[in-house]
Amino acid sequence: MSTNSLTARALERSASRDLHALRSLSRRGLAGLLLAPVFVAVSLAGAHAAPCLAVSQPLLKIPELVSNKGVLRGTVVLTDEQRRLIFRSPGKTPGQPGSFFDCQPQRVRAFLGLEAVPKVRPSPGGIIDPFPGPTLRARVGDIVQLTFVNQIDPNRFPYSIDQGEKRGISGVAPNPATGCDVSNPGNPQAGYPLMGADAFPDCFHGSSTGNIHFHGTHTNPNGTADNVLLEIRPSPRDPASREPLIKPETFKRQFADFFKACEARLRGDVFSTYPQTWNDAPLGPYTTAGTWTNQQMKLLQDYDAKTKESLWAANKKVIDQNLWPQYYIGAYPYCFQLPQYTQGNWPPPPGGLQMGQSPGTHWYHAHKHGSTAINVSNGMTGVFIIEGPYDDALNAFYGPGWTRQQPVMVINQLGVSPNLFRTPASQGGPGAGSQDKGPDFTVNGRFQPTVDMAPGEVQMWRIANTSGRSGAFFGGFAPGLQWMQLAQDGVQLADENYQASKNKSFLLASGNRGDFLVKAPMTPGIYPVLVQHAVDPTDLPSANPVVLLQVSVRGNVPPARGNRAEFIKTAPPQPPFLKNITDAEVASTISNPRVIKFASSPPNFPVPAPGTQRSYAMHTINGQKFDDGKDTAIPVTLNAVEEWRIENWTFGPLISHPFHIHINPFQIVDVFSPNQTVVNANGNTVPKYVFYNNPAPDPAQCYLDPNDASTWKDCKAVSDPSKPRIWWDVFPIPPGIGATDAQGNPIKGANGQQIMVPGYFRMRSRFVDYAGQYVLHCHILAHEDRGMMVLVQVSAPGKKIDPTVYRHH
């Protein structure tokens, strides 16, 4: 999607430089790209440092939970575990020359799949290296039945259990920030959050509370499905042994009965949102002793008595409105369907599914507001492969079972806590230090792993960028490697887009996925795959290319033959519900789209008055942070089809906030990126948009009238509605720009302030099949935790839910 001009040749030179840097500058760390899986001794003088696992490890096979007979069953345990993490210093940015690496045993929060296979064995010395949560593999139409168990010991991390109800911990004076995590260099009046402007619940907090967002699923957003308002607190612990009292088998009987009932309901009605209340059997009624909801009520009451919180009261308020409550202790049963669209064409007959679940590469991750960034960086992410006719078509070409043998790649920026926890030097702290552009990417928990390929072989790579911050820009693979894109964000491309994708650069922003066919060259050797970390295209000119992984084309295996050496000729046919959303469908909103405004203000903006507190950058949607008991939800009528304009009122530093909305994918109609540059006829790079001279001084440019917002668009855009559009569930919003004249002076409006022009994209989506409350947000997850999120409330006519009923902490 990006048009960055880094060429493969430039990347090749960069790769050489990068490898050289790694080899020559790793004082104790990763000694360059070694092919043999050897261990490099590091930090001999350190007390805790463990030797880093050498680069070039074989790509880790992630354990899988696979559906059987139409049901994906399994147990996902959220636990804390000591794993070996890589840290970079002194480089603030990945790949920065002069950086070196160190590995330390760090306690992280992690998803484990109890029944998932193959098991990940510890590395030599018994050290556990990071690995993602289990890959979930199901098929459209399947029922998902996952037992989720939270066994985190919150005391092994800085105090972070939710405390919104308490509004205070001893030693910290009550103020709007109370309830947030606290970090300071010994002065309680410095550090996070007191010296900033973060206020509960839009601050880092609650990182031992768990839930799962099934990112990319088109399903029920309520109850036991893709419900991110759930908060599942850790199991209580035995006072003596410190072992969790709630185990995977604790509610086995109740959950088995529920899963059986749930499957029957969902098989009978694909629109079912069962269970809807705590009185629904067999999980309830909560007033009946022995039911799961009754036991949850008691657990919550015990929890409240110990912590002085009021989770049971919050639940009771919701229960009394016949709604599904949000607070739980220790364990939770996820049960929902991946709806299968069975019609041969679109639109469907009245009353039928408007969409189905798209088969493709989806994913899941922690989504507790206030701790998504920390939990995702700890590694609480995994891939959710949803198979369907798409896989059948690929297997028909490449051979039976081929898609299940292909690499799954989970990119992440593994770390332990947000940079804002490092107190700035101006406040007497050590400063953000290194890594303030985030840690380096890993793939399946490994640094620069190796993918083996036979000469000429075509593989299908399912790549998910699960990192909470950086986009991964693939400017070009190593010369010799070729690729074609099959799917974006778990939704397969139309053949026309597939054919046009060959060897094109692409960006996977935080949350994006892509399925790619990658063809190895015939010549044995090592071929690095390079990426650049970016949160905005303007990052790219200075972003260091880094090795994401490398392909080892083996000389000791015969070359691939037949179809295994070919790109599939045509992309698998798309399901009929993926047809373009037409102008006619959005006729009611096309001339007056709903406008969603994302905005980041830089630190200390506006400049604080003398003697007042320092502020951090602020991140808002429609001028507000995520609400807590306020009615700011975006109301949408069930089965409406709408066009929205998603604006970015961020002007510096430039950030392309990755827009993400749950439940329904969307199509991009046009993109306006006012900071974009173009190469003109003379070969010079010039701004694409100017606010002076009409027409623009260069034919490659567009003139924007600073006083006429209707001109703020791409004058070169050519929209052909007959062309198939790509479906996304994450798309970066281009940042805005201040209008300037030919001399670079601000152009001011009637109010005397510089005229600011937002970047935007227009998108269309079908809000179909499932009503309920869910969210849209920035997928730079620290922004989401700090408020850049808003509820979307999809309601059937006359059935609006009170958006203030749920709390969001």
Q: By CB under 8 A, which span of 61-69, 82-90, 333-341, 623-631 interacts with another protein?
A: 82-90
Residue 182 or 266: which CB sits closer to another protein?
182
175: contact with another protein by CB under 8 A:
no
Q: Which of 462, 666, 496, 482 is nearest to 571 (CA)?
A: 496
Out of 6, 22, 31, 42, name the contact with another protein by CB under 8 A: 42
Helices within 591-737 (DSSP H only): none
Q: Which of 800, 768, 794, 760 is nearest to 595 (CA)?
A: 760
Instruction: For Cα atoms 734, 738, 740, give the angle at the middle one, nearest 5 degrees.
Output: 130
289: contact with another protein by CB under 8 A:
no
Residue 641's CB is within 10 A of a number of other CB atoms, namely: 18
At 767 the three-state DSSP class reads strand
Near another protein in 390-419, by CB under 8 A = 416-417
Residue 9 or 27: which CB sits closer to another protein?
27
Near another protein in 100-159, by CB under 8 A = 100, 102, 104-107, 126, 154-159
Residue 43 or 637: which CB sits closer to another protein?
43
Q: In what order do the strands lie in the sheet with 730-732?
A: 634-637, 789-795, 772-778, 658-661, 730-732
In whole angstroms, how close is the CB of 422 to another protein at the nearest point? 5
In whole angstroms, how close is the CB of 804 to another protein at the nearest point? 31
Distance CA 397, CA 593 (A): 43
433: contact with another protein by CB under 8 A:
yes
Q: By CB under 8 A, which span of 54-62, 310-318, 423-431, 766-774 interacts with another protein?
A: 423-431
429: contact with another protein by CB under 8 A:
yes
Distance CA 537, CA 27 (A): 32
442: contact with another protein by CB under 8 A:
no
In whole angstroms, how close is the CB of 86 to another protein at the nearest point? 11
Helix (H) or strand (E) holding 318: helix 311-319
Near another protein in 481-520, by CB under 8 A = none
Residue 192 or 390: which CB sits closer to another protein?
192
What lies within 8 Å, CB to CB, of 737 at 6+ separation is 651, 674, 675, 689, 756, 757, 759
Q: By CB under 8 A, which span of 99-107, 255-263, 692-700, 777-785 interacts with another protein?
A: 99-107
Out of 222, 315, 357, 435, name the contact with another protein by CB under 8 A: 435
Out of 170, 345, 612, 682, name the contact with another protein by CB under 8 A: 170
* Rounded (10°) CA dihedral 657, 661, 662, 663: -150
Residue 422 or 807: which CB sits closer to another protein?
422
205: contact with another protein by CB under 8 A:
no
In whole angstroms, how close is the CB of 166 to another protein at the nearest point? 12
171: contact with another protein by CB under 8 A:
yes
In whole angstroms, how close is the CB of 305 to another protein at the nearest point? 14
Q: Which of 461, 447, 403, 357 is nearest to 144 (CA)?
A: 357
Residue 345: exposed, middle, or buried by beta-carbon count in 10 A (0-12, 13-18, 19+)? Answer: exposed
Residue 36 or 47: which CB sits closer to another protein?
47
Out of 133, 179, 191, 216, name the contact with another protein by CB under 8 A: 191
Residues 265-294 as b or e (16 or more Cβ within 10 Å = b): bbeeebebbbbebbbbebbbebeeeebbbb
Residue 171 or 699: which CB sits closer to another protein?
171
245: contact with another protein by CB under 8 A:
no
Out of 137, 205, 422, 725, name the contact with another protein by CB under 8 A: 422
Near another protein in 57-76, by CB under 8 A = none
Distances 668 to 231, 580, 621, 761, 805 between C-alpha atoms, Å: 33, 10, 20, 7, 33
777: contact with another protein by CB under 8 A:
no
Q: How far apart, in Å, do the first and last CA atoms of the chain sit?
A: 36
Out of 87, 148, 384, 498, name the contact with another protein by CB under 8 A: 87
Distance CA 794, CA 800 (A): 8
What lies within 8 Å, CB to CB, of 191 at 6+ separation is 182, 183, 184, 185, 421, 423, 427, 429
In whole angstroms, how close is the CB of 367 to another protein at the nearest point? 22
With contact defined as beta carbons under 8 Å apart, do 514 and 1 qualify?
Answer: no
Distance CA 277, CA 59 (A): 44
Residue 100 or 364: which CB sits closer to another protein?
100
With contact defined as beta carbons under 8 Å apart, do 532 and 11 qualify?
Answer: no
Beta bridge partners of 553: 453, 525
375: contact with another protein by CB under 8 A:
no
Which tokens hold the place of 185?
């260099």
Out of 29, 95, 179, 206, name the contact with another protein by CB under 8 A: 29
9: contact with another protein by CB under 8 A:
no
Beta bridge partners of 352: none
In whole angstroms, how close is the CB of 628 to another protein at the nearest point? 22
Distance CA 714, CA 3 (A): 15
Q: By CB under 8 A, which span of 43-51, 129-137, 357-365, 447-455 interacts with another protein?
A: 43-51
In whole angstroms, how close is the CB of 433 to another protein at the nearest point? 4
Residue 46 or 555: which CB sits closer to another protein?
46
Near another protein in 224-243, by CB under 8 A = 239, 242
Residue 619's CB is within 10 A of a number of other CB atoms, namely: 26
Residue 437 or 645: which CB sits closer to another protein?
437
Distances 210 to 19, 42, 364, 685, 692 between C-alpha atoms, Å: 39, 35, 12, 48, 52
What lies within 8 Å, CB to CB, of 743 at 6+ separation is none
532: contact with another protein by CB under 8 A:
no
Out of 37, 176, 185, 635, name the contact with another protein by CB under 8 A: 185
In whole angstroms, how close is the CB of 98 to another protein at the nearest point? 12
In whole angstroms, how close is the CB of 432 to another protein at the nearest point? 8
Distance CA 493, CA 727 (A): 8
Out of 3, 9, 16, 90, name the contact with another protein by CB under 8 A: 90
What would the DSSP string read from start to end of 369-438?
A: TTTHHHHHHHT-EEEEEEESHHHHHHHHHH-TTGGGGS-EEEEE---SS-GGGS--GGGTS--S-S-TT-
Q: State the number of binding residues for another protein (CB under 8 A).
A: 56
Q: By CB under 8 A, which span of 26-34, 244-252, 337-345, 796-804 interacts with another protein?
A: 26-34
Which tokens hold the place of 738?
């201040």
331: contact with another protein by CB under 8 A:
no
Distance CA 122, CA 119 (A): 9
Q: Which residues bind another protein (CB under 8 A)?
A: 27-29, 42-43, 45-49, 82, 85, 87, 89-90, 100, 102, 104-107, 126, 154-159, 169-172, 181-188, 191, 239, 242, 416-417, 421-423, 428-435
